[in-house]
Amino acid sequence: MDSGIIVRTGYFDPNTYGARGYSFIGPLLLFYDKVVLYGPVSAFVEQSYYSEKFNKTSLTPTEFERAIIKGEIIPAGFESFFDSGKRQEFLKQELRITTQFDKDLLNRSSPLGRKAVRVPNNFKLELSAKTAKQLLVPFLKS
């Protein structure tokens, strides 16, 4: 039975903006029912909340976790992001595993880990390149 309710989903990569990007998530949840976040990390969640400049709109770390469990925030990323060995090799310290939140997000059997969307690492090479080529074909012919 169709309830007639439209679920609005936003997509956002907060890491592009560092801790400041995480201060946008609370306001995004005002406008979207769900927000898909690319590669959420606890270091930026905490920096955003504890920063005097950003905390007025930032979710607390607990609110952030609850939003994931409720399905309001959907953590997404490539398989390598959810691989603890690969994560520890990341150049940016903030993207490494630093807290229990990060460990739980990587653990497929934890409540946070069950909510994570893992995209195959080969997606970029095998699928998106073909999709991009299909989109460009009309422009390449002229």
Residue 72 lies in a domain: yes
In a domain, 85, yes or no: yes
Q: How far is CA 75 from CA 13, 26, 63, 100, in A?
A: 10, 15, 14, 16
Domain count, the chain: 1
Tell me whether residue 1 is in a domain. Answer: no
Q: What share of the chain is helix, strand, coil (3-state, %, to 5)?
A: 55, 15, 35
**27-42 pLDDT, tens digit each:** 999 999 999 999 899 9
Residue-wise pLDDT for 53-93, tens only, equals: 888 889 999 999 999 999 899 998 888 889 988 888 876 77
28: domain range? 9-141
Task: Determine the residue type at 138.
Answer: P
What is the spatial distance between Cα 66 and Cα 128, in angstroms, rounded to a whole number?
Answer: 32
- pLDDT average, residue stretch 113-141: 68
Among 88-97, 108-117, 118-127, 131-140, the range with the most confident prediction by mean pLDDT is 108-117
Is 25 contained in some domain?
yes
Q: Is 2 contained in some domain?
A: no
pLDDT of residue 142: 36
Strand partners, 117: 76
Q: Is 112 helix (H, G, I), strand (E, B) or coil?
A: helix
